[in-house]
Amino acid sequence: MEIPHRLNELRECGKITWSDQEHSWIAQPDEVVFALADDGFEEYKHEVASSPRGRGSAGGLWQGLNTRTGSVACAIWVARSDADHALVFIEVDGRPLAGPHELTPRRRALFVAGAARRERRDDTRSA
């Protein structure tokens, strides 16, 4: 999956980096959200989870719709001990942006298998 233009710019200047160990992006969530908005995604959901005892945000979710293309983008983040950056999982149209490269064949197979399981589950629920 191709990385949206503004996210790619953030990657190229080192503001977001891919962690193979964490299987996620390391970034400031606001920068990811602003980049997705700059790429045409209009916010329709934004939730932030608070940490116990007032320690700030534990994580959050942002979803946006590109009304021109019909694409949906989602960013989910989990706070790390490094308060400035979080683990950020990004999807566009249900496909994960899995690093600065195309999905590997193994990741693609796992993604397809997961999508098939979700589809079967949804079919079972609607029956």
Least confidently predicted of 38-42, 48-52, 111-115, 116-120: 111-115
CB atoms within 10 A of CB 29: 23
For the chain, what is the domain count?
Answer: 1
Q: Is residue 113 part of a domain?
A: no
Q: Is residue 63 part of a domain?
A: yes
Q: Is residue 70 part of a domain?
A: yes
pLDDT band at 109 (very low <50, low <70, confident <90, very high): low
Summarised one tens digit per residue, pLDDT across range 3-59 is 678 888 888 888 998 888 888 999 999 999 999 999 999 999 999 887 776 666 789
pLDDT band at 60 (very low <50, low <70, confident <90, very high): very high
Strands 24-27 and 42-50: unpaired
**72 compared with 82, residue with greater pLDDT:** 72
Cα–Cα distances (Å) from 117 to 4, 30, 46, 120, 122, in that order, read 27, 32, 27, 5, 9
pLDDT confidence of residue 57? 73
pTM of the model: 0.72
Mean pLDDT of the chain: 80
CB atoms within 10 A of CB 64: 22
Residue 62: give the domain boundaries.
Answer: 5-99
For 54-114, the DSSP string reads G--EEEEEEEEE-TTT--EEEEEEEE-SSTT-EEEEEEETTEE--SSSPPPHHHHHHHHHH
pLDDT band at 83 (very low <50, low <70, confident <90, very high): low
**Residue 92: pLDDT above 70?**
yes
